[in-house]
Amino acid sequence: MTKKMTITSIKKSKGVTPLVMITAYDALFAKLLESSSDMILVGDSLNMSFAGKSDTLSATLEQMIYHTNAVAMGAKNSFIITDMPFGTYVNKKEALKNAITVFQQTTADALKIEGGEDKAHIIEHLCSNGIAVCGHIGLLPQAFRSEGGYKVKGRTKEEEEQLIKDAQAVERAGAFCMVIEGVKADVAAVVAKSVSIPVIGIGAGKDVDGQVLVFSDMLGLFEEFTPKFVKKYMNGAALVKKAVGQYADDVKSKEFPQDIHTY
Ligand code: KIV
């Protein structure tokens, strides 16, 4: 069994070894994923790949708590980060109230907040009240509707400068690491070098301090769309459909159950 990561070991890994983060939403998959991951993210992407919605915006605190508890049952030896859903950290007071609810009702080790300079005051408030925070800068899925789609960042000098300011503000506010999503690879590399905490990329190239992928994307289970940055490590959807098809054929032809499956 590998040793569970801590805030200290996560911070110390910067410049030493790339960090592996994977999302999980339930005990079954969390158990399967935990031996290969340094951190498990209970992402609000569950609203899409688990709950079938078209974006993350309607995910609720109750959903995040339910799924975090399921993941924690399956991955007892993992550092677990839970996403704070859209609308739950609009000001310091609300953010702390909701963060405390998640910390009291789950065993999450840290919470993730989307936003940079604009959310630094929230991150600072949570950190100074005993909540460990992972930042999330660059493309922010919770800004999908207000920005009119998923917009890759770092395409202009102004965007690059803002990303550096965002990363540094998140670090100064007390976050122990941050996700950087959907950013031009050369810019993400500069951003990662501009701070001393790990910067975990998704769609941000390889010159960052680790990578995160949504498990249902990397296992080829989510069929609605596949972002350019996803590498599919198996064609899960085809494997599942084939197996279930064989089961259905066996039931119809009475090939299943056989004597070995019968009391
Ligand atoms: O919700 C999620 O799964 C995430 C990852 C895309 C980083 O935030």
For the chain, give the mean pLDDT: 97
Say how many C-beta atoms besides its own lie within 10 A of residue 225's C-beta: 8
With a 6 Å cutoff on the Cβ, whether 214 touches ligand 1 is yes
**Whole-number pLDDT of residue 34:** 96
**Whole-number pLDDT of residue 136:** 98
Residue 233 clears pLDDT 60, i.e. is over it? yes
pLDDT digits (tens, 9 = 90+) for 239-259: 999 999 999 999 999 999 999
pLDDT digits (tens, 9 = 90+) for 102-126: 999 999 999 999 999 999 999 999 9
Percent of the chain whose predicted confidence (pLDDT) is above 90: 97
Residue 2 clears pLDDT 90, i.e. is over it? no
- Ligand 1 atom closest to the Cα of residue 200 is 7
Tokens of 74: 């399956």
**Residue 62 known to be catalytic:** no
**146 CB-near residues (< 8 Å, 6+ apart):** none
pLDDT digits (tens, 9 = 90+) for 162-197: 999 999 999 999 999 999 999 999 999 999 999 999
pLDDT digits (tens, 9 = 90+) for 129-168: 999 999 999 999 999 999 999 999 999 999 999 999 999 9
With a 6 Å cutoff on the Cβ, whether 124 touches ligand 1 is no
**Whole-number pLDDT of residue 224:** 86
Averaged pLDDT for residues 207-225: 95
Residue 26 clears pLDDT 90, i.e. is over it? yes
**61 CB-near residues (< 8 Å, 6+ apart):** 84, 85, 88, 98, 101, 102
| Residue to probe by mutation, ligand 1, list 214, 218, 226, 228, most atoms within 8 Å of CB | 214
With a 6 Å cutoff on the Cβ, whether 40 touches ligand 1 is no
With a 6 Å cutoff on the Cβ, whether 217 touches ligand 1 is no
Averaged pLDDT for residues 52-66: 97
With a 6 Å cutoff on the Cβ, whether 43 touches ligand 1 is yes
**Whole-number pLDDT of residue 1:** 55
> Which residue's alpha carbon is nearest to atom 5 within ligand 1?
43
| Residue to probe by mutation, ligand 1, list 19, 68, 202, most atoms within 8 Å of CB | 202
> Which residue's alpha carbon is nearest to atom 4 within ligand 1?
43
**From 181, 223, 224, 255, the catalytic residue:** 181
d(CA 142, CA 158): 22
| Residue to probe by mutation, ligand 1, list 47, 112, 180, most atoms within 8 Å of CB | 112
- Ligand 1 atom closest to the Cα of residue 141 is 8
